C-alpha cells in the first residue's frame, strides 16, 4: 500500500488532531509504552505526536529500544509495559516479529498490546500471524498520521485495560472458587463465618474490619431468644465473637446491622457496607469497614462472593441439622449417647477435679410405657429431662438410653441428695401425675478413666450396683467394683465349664415331720466342687448362674437329678419321700420351665406328687401372672409348691393368695432366736397364717433342741436343719434314711 496523503518521512508531522483527548489526570499514574525502532528519529516524533495524550486518566511514559534484542530485554525488566509500538524490520527483516514471539510465547504475556509499524509495506506479516499473536494493529508508517497514531494508541490501551480487568476478575473469581472449596470443608458455624470473613478480606486486598452477624438461636449455645450475635469478626477483638451484637460498642453500626436485617437488602456508603445474606431461611449480615472504596470490579466480585457465601451458610446450617440428628436425642433435644460419650471424653481429659459424671436410670419406666402408652411415656421423659436441666447451667444433661439420662456437673451441684430431691415430686405427663424413682451411678474425677467410653462403662458399673442395692439407690464407682465384675465374669466362666464337665452335685437335706420324727422328704441343694477341690457356696454361685442365664440349664439338670433320685429311692422302698427342688426366676422367664419339668417326669416316669418346687416371694416381683400361670399348670399334674424363705420378701398377701401353694417354709432368721422370750412372734404368725391358708408349714434352720421344742408348741408341722442333718450326698442320704429312727 502506498501513502495516500503524506510523503515518506514527514508523515508524523502532519497534525490532523484538532480534538486530542485531554482529560483530567492526576498525573501520578501513567501508562508505560515501549517504542521499538532502529531509527532514533521515529522515537522522538512518536513521543512528540503523543505528547499531550491522556488515556483513561493517565499520561504516557516511554521506554526506548533500538533493536529487537533491546526490546526483549526491556520487556523482561519492566512488567508494567502496556503497549509496544514495534518496528518490524530492524537488525533483521523479522526482528520485530521475533519480539512479538518472545512476548507471547516465552514471556507468556498475553496482556501487552502490540502495534506493528513498518516503512515497507512488503514486510507486512501474514494475517494468520496477526491473529495468532494477538497484534492490535498493523500500520505502515506512512499511514500513521498523528491522529491515527493517537487513535491506535488509545484503542490499544483501552483494550489493555479491559484485558487487565477481565484478568483481575478471573483472579478474583478463582479466589472465590478456591475460597468456596475451602469454606465447604468448614462444618462448624463459627469456623465457617470466620472463613467467610477471611476470604472476603483476601478478595478486597486491603485492611478491613468486618463482622458476621446473625440471630444466635441454633448457633450459639444457650442462645434461646432471637437476639443478634457476632458470630465472627476480623480486625476487631477476638472477645467479640459469640457475644450479643449489643455488646459491640458502636451503636450506629449495631443499628445499621439490624436495619439491614429488617430491610432485607444491602446497605452501603463509600467506606462501609452492610451485606445481607439470605438463603433457605438462613439469614446473616456482614458489616464491612474499608480504608478505600471498592472498585467496580471488586463490587461485582463481591456480589458473586456473597451469593456463594449465602449458599455455604445454608449448607453449614443444614450440616449442623444433620449433625444434630446424629448427636441429639430427637425426643428431648438433649445430647444423645454418642454426644454424651464425647462430653465424657472432655470430662475425662480436663483438669477440673471437682467434676462428677452420673447416670440416672428411671425405675419401672417400662410399666408407664406399657400401662399408659408411649405418648405418656414420652411426656414423662420430656418432664424428667426438663427437671434435670433445672439443675443449673453448669450441668450438662444427655439422654443416653430409653430411660437413662447422663449428667456431668460439679461435685457440689451433683450429689445423690440433690438428684433424689428432683424425684421427690411426681412428674406431670399429660393428665397424669406420675411418681417416679430412679437409681444413680456416679464416677468422680478421681477414679475416671482416660476416655469417654471407659468412663461411661465405669458409671454403668456403679449404676448396676445401685440398682441391685436394696437400701441406697446410688453408688459411686470405685476400682474394686471392676475387680468384682472381673471376678464375677471369671466365676461364671468357671461355672460354665465345671457344669459342662459334670462337676456339680446335688446333695440332700432331710426334712422331718415334727410329730413323728419321720423323714418325709429332702431338699435338693446344689454343691459345686471346683477342679481344685474347694466347695463354693450356692449363696455365691446361684446368683451368678441366675445373672448369666446358666441357671436355666443347671435348673433343668437339677430337676432331672431329683426325678432320678425319686426313682432310686422308691426302688429302695422309700417311695414316700418328697424331693424339693429350688427354682429361680430366670428359669420361668428365660426357659420353658413347665416343659422341662413335664419332660423330666415323663422320662423318669415318676409320681409327680413326690416332686416339690420351692419358689421365693421375689418371684412375684417381676411378672407375677406368667409365673402364677406356670405354677398352676405344674400343680395341675400333682407337683407340690412350697414358698421358700417366707417372711423375708416383700410380696403382698393378696398376691400370695393367688399362688397355688402347698407349703410355707419359715426362713431360718425367724427360727434362730425362737426359743428366747418374745422372739417367736414372726414364726408364730407365719405358722398361724399357714394354718389359715390350709398350708403345711415347715421350719428351716433348726440347730438346737430348744428351737424344736418351741416349734412343737407353736404347732409347726415339719422341720429341716443341722440339728437333724446337714445336706449330704445322694448315697449318704440313702444311708441316713435307712438309719432313720423316728424320735
Residue ranges that bind ligand C2E, judged by CB under 6 A: 509, 525-526, 537-539, 542, 555, 558, 582-584, 614, 644-645, 668, 700-703, 720-722, 727
Query: Cα 399 vs. chain centroid, distance in angstroms?
Result: 12
Tell me the closest approach of the beta carbon of residue 538 to Mg ion, in angstroms.
Answer: 10
Using the minimum distance from each CB to ligand C2E, give the nearer residue, 77 or 731.
Answer: 731
Q: Which of 438, 434, 444, 398 is closest to 418 using CA atoms? A: 438
Closest contact distance (angstroms) between CB of 432 and ligand C2E is 39
Q: How near is the Cβ of 525 to ligand C2E at its closest, in Å?
A: 4
Quick check: 441 and 431 in contact, CB under 8 A?
A: no
Distance in Å, CB of 368 to ligand C2E, minimum: 31
Between 332 and 584, name the residue whose CB sits nearer to ligand C2E.
Answer: 584
Selection from ligand C2E, Mg ion, none that 195 binds (CB < 5 to 8 A by kind) is none
Closest approach, Cβ 678 to Mg ion, in A, equals 24
Q: What is the 8-class DSSP label of residue 131? A: H
Q: How far apart (Å, rounded) are the C-alpha atoms in residues 344 and 398?
A: 11
If you count them, how many residues does the chain have? 743
Q: Which residue, among 382, 335, 385, 383, has the nearest Cα to 360 in the 3D structure?
A: 385
CB of 644 vs ligand C2E, minimal distance in Å: 5
Give the nearer residue to ligand C2E in terms of CB position, either 89 or 562: 562
In whole angstroms, the minimum distance from the beta carbon of 657 to ligand C2E comes to 22
Instruction: Tell me if 432 sits within 8 A of 372, measured CB to CB.
Output: yes
**Contacted entry of Mg ion, ligand C2E, none for residue 87, CB cut-off 5 to 8 Å set by kind:** none
Return the ∠ at Cα 82 (arms to 169 and 132), rounded to 5°.
80
Specify the residue, 137 or 644, whose C-beta has the smaller distance to Mg ion. Answer: 644
For cell 411415656, name the residue. Answer: 377
409 binds, among ligand C2E, Mg ion, none (CB under 5 to 8 A by kind): none
**Would strands 640-646 and 663-666 be described as parallel, antiparallel, or unpaired?**
parallel
Residue 603 CB, shortest distance to ligand C2E, in Å, is 18
DSSP 657: H
- Minimum CB distance to Mg ion, residue 664 (Å): 11
Report d(CA 31, CA 154) in Å as an integer: 11
Q: Which is nearer to Mg ion, 284 or 522 (CB)?
A: 522
CB closer to ligand C2E out of 152 and 720: 720
Is the Cβ of residue 140 or residue 560 nearer to ligand C2E in the bound state?
560
Looking at beta carbons only, is 256 or 509 nearer to ligand C2E? Answer: 509
Q: Report whether 287 contacts 210 (CB < 8 A).
A: yes
**CB closer to ligand C2E, 37 vs 644:** 644
Residue 94 binding partner per list ligand C2E, Mg ion, none, with a CB distance cut-off of 5 to 8 Å that depends on partner kind: none
Return the number of the residue (441 or 555) whose C-beta is nearest ligand C2E: 555
Of the two residues 42 and 558, which places its CB atom closer to ligand C2E in the complex? Answer: 558
Residue 727 interacting entry, from ligand C2E, Mg ion, none, C-beta within 5 to 8 Å by type: ligand C2E
- Cα gap 80→113, rounded to integer Å: 12
| H-helix segments, 469-524 | 479-500
Indicate the residue among 70 and 645 with the shorter CB distance to Mg ion: 645
Which residue number, 339 or 645, has a Cβ lying nearer to ligand C2E?
645
> Residue 172 or 721: which CB sits closer to ligand C2E?
721
CB 297 within 8 A of CB 170: no
Alpha helices in 336-451 (DSSP H): 337-349, 365-372, 374-389, 416-422
Q: How far is the CB of 585 from ligand C2E (least distance, A)?
A: 9
* DSSP one-letter code for 290: -
Using alpha carbons, select from 106, 113, 125, 90 the residue that is nearest to residue 162: 113
Binding residues for Mg ion, rule: CB under 5 A, are 582, 614, 644-645
Burial of 212 (0-12, 13-18, 19+ CB in 10 A): buried
How far is residue 69's CA from residue 76's CA, in Å, rounded to a whole number?
A: 11
The torsion angles phi and psi of 543, rounded to 5 degrees, stand at: -60, -35
Cα dihedral angle (596, 597, 599, 603), rounded to 10 degrees?
Answer: 130
With CB cut-offs between 5 and 8 Å by kind, which of Mg ion, ligand C2E, none does residue 526 bind? ligand C2E
Which DSSP category does 124 fall into? P
The residue among 406 and 721 lying less far from ligand C2E, judged by its C-beta, is 721
Shortest spacing between CB 555 and ligand C2E, in angstroms: 6
Beta bridge partners of 3: none
* 3-state class (DSSP) for residue 733: helix
> In Å, how far from its chain's centre is CA 77?
59
Out of Mg ion, ligand C2E, none, which partner does residue 584 contact, by CB within 5 to 8 A per kind? Answer: ligand C2E
Give the nearer residue to Mg ion in terms of CB position, either 578 or 582: 582
As a 3-state breakdown, the chain gives helix, strand, coil percent values, each rounded to 5, of: 45, 20, 35
Cβ closest to Mg ion, residue 490 vs residue 537: 537
Cα distance between the two ends of the chain: 153
Q: How far is residue 635's CA from residue 637's CA, in Å, rounded to a whole number?
A: 5
Q: Are the beta carbons of 85 and 34 closer than 8 angstroms?
A: yes
The minimum distance between CB 668 and Mg ion, in angstroms, equals 7
Partner touching 450 among ligand C2E, Mg ion, none, CB below 5 to 8 Å by kind: none
CB atoms within 10 A of CB 10: 10
All cell numbers assigned to 214: 446473625
- Residue 645: CB minimum distance to Mg ion, A: 4
Nearest distance in Å: CB 461, ligand C2E = 25
Angle at 274 between CA 269 and CA 278, to 5 degrees: 140
Between CA 264 and CA 276 the distance in angstroms is 6
Q: How far is the CB of 686 from Mg ion (least distance, A)?
A: 13
Angle between helices 730-738 and 551-571 (to 10 degrees): 30
Residue 640 CA neighbour count, 13 Å, CB half: 18
Strand 438-444, strand 209-215: pairing: unpaired
CA dist., res. 93 & res. 625, Å (int)? 114
Partners of 86 in the β-ladder: 36, 116
Least separation in angstroms between residue 736's CB and Mg ion is: 19
Cα gap 675→684, rounded to integer Å? 12
**CB 699 to Mg ion: min, Å:** 10
Amino acid at each position: 500500500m502506498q501513502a495516500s496523503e503524506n510523503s515518506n518521512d514527514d508523515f508524523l508531522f502532519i497534525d490532523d488532531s484538532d480534538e486530542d483527548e485531554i482529560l483530567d489526570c492526576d498525573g501520578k499514574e501513567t501508562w508505560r509504552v515501549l517504542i521499538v525502532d532502529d531509527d532514533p528519529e521515529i522515537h522522538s516524533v512518536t513521543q512528540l505526536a503523543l505528547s499531550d495524550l491522556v488515556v483513561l486518566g493517565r499520561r504516557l511514559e516511554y521506554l526506548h529500544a533500538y533493536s529487537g534484542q533491546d526490546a526483549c530485554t526491556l520487556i523482561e525488566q519492566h512488567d508494567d509495559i502496556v503497549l509496544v509500538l514495534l518496528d518490524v524490520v530492524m537488525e533483521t527483516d523479522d526482528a520485530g516479529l521475533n519480539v512479538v514471539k518472545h512476548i507471547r510465547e516465552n514471556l507468556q504475556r498475553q496482556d501487552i498490546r502490540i502495534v506493528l509499524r513498518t516503512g515497507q509495506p512488503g514486510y507486512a506479516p501474514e494475517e494468520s500471524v496477526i491473529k495468532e499473536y494477538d497484534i492490535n494493529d498493523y500500520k505502515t508508517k506512512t499511514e500513521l498520521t498523528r491522529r491515527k497514531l493517537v487513535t491506535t494508541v488509545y484503542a490499544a490501551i483501552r483494550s489493555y485495560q479491559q484485558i487487565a480487568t477481565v484478568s483481575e476478575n478471573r483472579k478474583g473469581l478463582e479466589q472465590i472458587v478456591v475460597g468456596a472449596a475451602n469454606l465447604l470443608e468448614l462444618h462448624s458455624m463459627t469456623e465457617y463465618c470466620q472463613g467467610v470473613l477471611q476470604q472476603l478480606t483476601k478478595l478486597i486486598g486491603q485492611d478491613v474490619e468486618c463482622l458476621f452477624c446473625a440471630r444466635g438461636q441454633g448457633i450459639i449455645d444457650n442462645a434461646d431468644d432471637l437476639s443478634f450475635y457476632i458470630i465472627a469478626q476480623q480486625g476487631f477483638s477476638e472477645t467479640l465473637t459469640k457475644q450479643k451484637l449489643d455488646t459491640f460498642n458502636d451503636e450506629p453500626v449495631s443499628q445499621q446491622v439490624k436495619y439491614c436485617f429488617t430491610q432485607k437488602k444491602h446497605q452501603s456508603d463509600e467506606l462501609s457496607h452492610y451485606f445481607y445474606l439470605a438463603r433457605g431461611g438462613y439469614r446473616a449480615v456482614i458489616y464491612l469497614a474499608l480504608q478505600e472504596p471498592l472498585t467496580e470490579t471488586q463490587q461485582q466480585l463481591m456480589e458473586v462472593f456473597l451469593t456463594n457465601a449465602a449458599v455455604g451458610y445454608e449448607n453449614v446450617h443444614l450440616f449442623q441439622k444433620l449433625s444434630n440428628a446424629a448427636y441429639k436425642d430427637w425426643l428431648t433435644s438433649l445430647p444423645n449417647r454418642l454426644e454424651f460419650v464425647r462430653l465424657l471424653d472432655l470430662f475425662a481429659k480436663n483438669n477440673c477435679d471437682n467434676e462428677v459424671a452420673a447416670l440416672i436410670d428411671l425405675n419401672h419406666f417400662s410399666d408407664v410405657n406399657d400401662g399408659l402408652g408411649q405418648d405418656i411415656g414420652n411426656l414423662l421423659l420430656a418432664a424428667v429431662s426438663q427437671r434435670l436441666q433445672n439443675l443449673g447451667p453448669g450441668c450438662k444433661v444427655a439422654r443416653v438410653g430409653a430411660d437413662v439420662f447422663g449428667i456431668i456437673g460439679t461435685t457440689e451441684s451433683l450429689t445423690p441428695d440433690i438428684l433424689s430431691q428432683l424425684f421427690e415430686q411426681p412428674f406431670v405427663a399429660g393428665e397424669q401425675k406420675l411418681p417416679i424413682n430412679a437409681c444413680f451411678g456416679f464416677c468422680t474425677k478421681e477414679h475416671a478413666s482416660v476416655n469417654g467410653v471407659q468412663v461411661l462403662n465405669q458409671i454403668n458399673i456403679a449404676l448396676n450396683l445401685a440398682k441391685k442395692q436394696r437400701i441406697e439407690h446410688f453408688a459411686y464407682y470405685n476400682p474394686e467394683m471392676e475387680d468384682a465384675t472381673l471376678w464375677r465374669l471369671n466365676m461364671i466362666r468357671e461355672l460354665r465349664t465345671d457344669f459342662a464337665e459334670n462337676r456339680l452335685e446335688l446333695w440332700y437335706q432331710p426334712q422331718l415331720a415334727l410329730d413323728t420324727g419321720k423323714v418325709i422328704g429332702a431338699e435338693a441343694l446344689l454343691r459345686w466342687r471346683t477342679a481344685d477341690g474347694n466347695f463354693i457356696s450356692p449363696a455365691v454361685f446361684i446368683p451368678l448362674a441366675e445373672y448369666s442365664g446358666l441357671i436355666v440349664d443347671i435348673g433343668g439338670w437339677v430337676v432331672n437329678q431329683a426325678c432320678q433320685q425319686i426313682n432310686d429311692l422308691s426302688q429302695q422302698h422309700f417311695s414316700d419321700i418328697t424331693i424339693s427342688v429350688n427354682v429361680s426366676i430366670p428359669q420361668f422367664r428365660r426357659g420353658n420351665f413347665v416343659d422341662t419339668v413335664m419332660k423330666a417326669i415323663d422320662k423318669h416316669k415318676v409320681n409327680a406328687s413326690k416332686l416339690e418346687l420351692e419358689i421365693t416371694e421375689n418371684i412375684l416381683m417381676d411378672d407375677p401372672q406368667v409365673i402364677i400361670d406356670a405354677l398352676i399348670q405344674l400343680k395341675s399334674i400333682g407337683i407340690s409348691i412350697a414358698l421358700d424363705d417366707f417372711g423375708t420378701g416383700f410380696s403382698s398377701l393378696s398376691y400370695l393368695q393367688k399362688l397355688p401353694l402347698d407349703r410355707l417354709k419359715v426362713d431360718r432368721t425367724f427360727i434362730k432366736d425362737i426359743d428366747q422370750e418374745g422372739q417367736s412372734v414372726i414364726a408364730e404368725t407365719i405358722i398361724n397364717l399357714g394354718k389359715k391358708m390350709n398350708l403345711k408349714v415347715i421350719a428351716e434352720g433348726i440347730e438346737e433342741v430348744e428351737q424344736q421344742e418351741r416349734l412343737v408348741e407353736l404347732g409347726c408341722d415339719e422341720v429341716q436343719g443341722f440339728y437333724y442333718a446337714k445336706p449330704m450326698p445322694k448315697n449318704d442320704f440313702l444311708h441316713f434314711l435307712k438309719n432313720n429312727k423316728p424320735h
